[in-house]
Structure 1
Amino acid sequence: MGLVFLWFGVLKLFPAVSPAEEVAVRASAKLTFGLLPLDAILPLLAVLETAIGIGLVTGFLLRLTLTVFFAHMVGVFSALFVLHEEMWKTGTPIPTMLGQYIIKNVVLVAACLVVAADAWLRALPHPGNPPLPPAGR
């Protein structure tokens, strides 16, 4: 999961390589009310996704990584609403190919919920048992 995020983040560092970059920039521009320059959005997303990937792979600052991941996913899923004309076939609950591309992220969210639950359980004190080592190490 971390490798996928790392891979997709690195792809965004190279203009016109990621198939998702156009929709990511348009959605981010709408979500930030145009306050970020368009040419800054893609590099920021690339660094964010790369950092999330590194955090998931290494387990370093895992709680922060998961918090940033879930916040990022809120932004990703919001594209279904802010770009609804591109995400849904007109007048139907049927997603377009772009909409399907966004919706498939529910798998990543489910996987990160498992990682978050594991990290949370490892942080709980266990009477009579030594604490578990941090997840991801």
Structure 2
Amino acid sequence: MKTREMISAMIETENKAIAWKARHGLNILRISLGLIFIWFGVLKFFPGVSAAEVIAGRTIEKLTFGLILPAVSLPVLAVWECVIGLGLISKKWLGLTLLLLYFQMIGTFLPLVFFPDETFAHSLLVPTLLGQYIIKNIVLLSGGVVIGATVKIRNTDAESYS
């Protein structure tokens, strides 16, 4: 095979891969996020299983000035996260699902403010393992934003993005 033919074949392969990603990438992202929310949500139904259980309970308790204790807030949070996951996977009520996701994500970042001694070591540039666990949620939030942008596009008849 000549160099020019090999380069053409590589370009064609790359173009096919890009087209496949454009067709399927958003669905992969949506379903992946949905699975993560269901997985982490289900863990919260079982006391002592979720790595985020203690910090989530303490955060909600602090946010509500002690009115909602972890025994109540964690099952509610578990249901909330599972609803987000099911909404993402099914694409039902996607606008509402994303609103729930955004509010849940805001809540996940609150421990960085409420409990900085537990989420950062030495400075804001050195997160603890708990801080890293929280900060990685930027990626989940970003995925939700991308999906949200496609909901808006789809509502304006740009069906090629769905």
Same fold, judged at TM 0.5 (above): yes
Match for 1:64 among 96, 102, 116? 96
Amino acid in structure 1 at the alignment position of 2:121 = K
Match of 1:17 in 2: 49
Match of 1:97 in 2: 129
Q: CA deviation at 1:33?
A: 1.2
Amino acid in structure 2 at the alignment position of 1:73 = M
Larger Rg: 2
Q: Deviations over 1:2-28 (max 9, x none)?
A: 101111001111111111101111111
Q: Deviations over 1:22-76 (max 9, x none)?
A: 1111111111111113310110110110111101111111000000100111111
Q: Structure 1: state its 5+ residue gaps.
A: 127-131
- RMSD, matched Cα: 1.7
Q: CA deviation at 1:125?
A: 4.5
Match of 2:59 in 1: 27
Deviates more, 1:31-40 or 1:8-17: 31-40
Match of 2:154 in 1: 122
| CA distance in 2 between partners of 1:114 and 1:66 (Å) | 10
Q: Structure 2: state its 5+ residue gaps.
A: 1-32
Match of 2:71 in 1: 39
How many residues end up aligned between the 2 structures?
Answer: 130
| CA distance in 2 between partners of 1:56 and 1:125 (Å) | 20
Which one has a larger percent helix, Structure 1 or Structure 2?
A: 2
SS in 2 for 1:13: coil
Match of 1:73 in 2: 105
Q: Per the alignment, do residues 134 and 44 of structure 1 end up closer, same or farther by CA in structure 2, a change over 3 Å counting?
A: farther
TM-score (norm 1): 0.88
